[in-house]
Chain A
Amino acid sequence: TQLLEQSPQFLSIQEGENLTVYCNSSSVFSSLQWYRQEPGEGPVLLVTVVTGGEVKKLKRLTFQFGDARKDSSLHITAAQPGDTGLYLCAGSGGYQKVTFGIGTKLQVIP
């Protein structure tokens, strides 16, 4: 069974601060996705990383895939209240079966 550990599980920061969320596994994934989920809604895909060492930027969000494709990080620069939500990492390994981490609940205080 492939497991993904996400940390921290809860994060409350002031607007303008930087933060990093980590996603770790003992398994190798062919690709890893980051999603953001609002309360009562389905997860919305932010990015997919597929190559070990890959770095992708989405405005103030920077995503990195570990060299061994077992871990990933999400860094948010100058967090905004609109960044508040549940951030989920998910790994794909075989026939698009996606394994999710428990999620990081981020609150950005104005």
Chain B
Amino acid sequence: DAGVTQSPTHLIKTRGQQVTLRCSPKSGHDTVSWYQQALGQGPQFIFQYYEEEERQRGNFPDRFSGHQFPNYSSELNVNALLLGDSALYLCASSAGTGDRNTIYFGEGSWLTVV
């Protein structure tokens, strides 16, 4: 049973470019959340998708957008990249809407903006 998988694992982009990160949730999970973790910081909540809709959003600009597909996989898109967007982007999945359901994280995608 595969856990949460993310791709790519590492990538380098130039300031102003756009990036798409991908996430496949753990089998049986239907809720996907995205987090940004800067070096030396705890993860910061970006947004959450459930039933193909954005259900919650953290304090991130509109340059950050996402999508969830019918198979529950998800994409995170970041437009007009800034140097400060360099971080580890984590995807987390869980099942159902119960607040106490266990959340599992992927290994993350390291984004470097130069």
Tell me which residues across on chain B come within 8 A of A31, comparing CB atoms.
Answer: 99-100
Tell me which residues across on chain A come within 8 A of B4, comparing CB atoms.
Answer: 42
Tell me which residues across on chain A come within 8 A of B31, comparing CB atoms.
Answer: 96
Within 8 A of B (CB), among A11-44: 30-31, 33, 35, 40-44
Q: Does B73 contact A (CB under 8 A)?
A: no
Query: Which stretch (B13-21, B37-45, B79-87) binds chain A?
Result: B37-45
Known contacts A33-B103, A42-B90; A96/B42 CB under 8 A: no
Q: Does B94 contact A (CB under 8 A)?
A: yes
Total A-B pairs, Cβ < 8 A: 74
Q: In whole angstroms, how far apart are the Cα atoms of A88 and B37 in the complex?
A: 12
A97 near B56 with CB under 8 A, answer yes
Report the count of interface residues on A (CB-CB < 8 A).
28
User: Contact flags (1/0) for A83-110 with B, using CB distance below 8 Å?
Assistant: 0000010101111111111110000000
Within 8 A of A (CB), among B34-82: 35, 41-45, 48, 50, 55-56, 59
Tell me which residues across on chain B come within 8 A of A7, comparing CB atoms.
Answer: none
A40-B88, A44-B105 known, 8 other contacts, Cβ within 8 Å: A35-B105, A42-B108, A43-B43, A45-B105, A88-B43, A95-B99, A96-B33, A103-B42
Q: Which residues of B contact A (CB under 8 A)?
A: 4, 31, 33, 35, 41-45, 48, 50, 55-56, 59, 88, 90, 92, 94, 97-108, 110
26 A–B pairs (Cβ distance < 8 Å), ordered by A: A30-B99, A31-B100, A40-B107, A41-B108, A42-B90, A42-B106, A42-B108, A43-B43, A44-B105, A45-B102, A48-B100, A94-B56, A94-B99, A95-B50, A96-B97, A96-B98, A96-B99, A96-B103, A97-B33, A97-B48, A98-B92, A100-B42, A100-B45, A102-B41, A102-B42, A103-B42
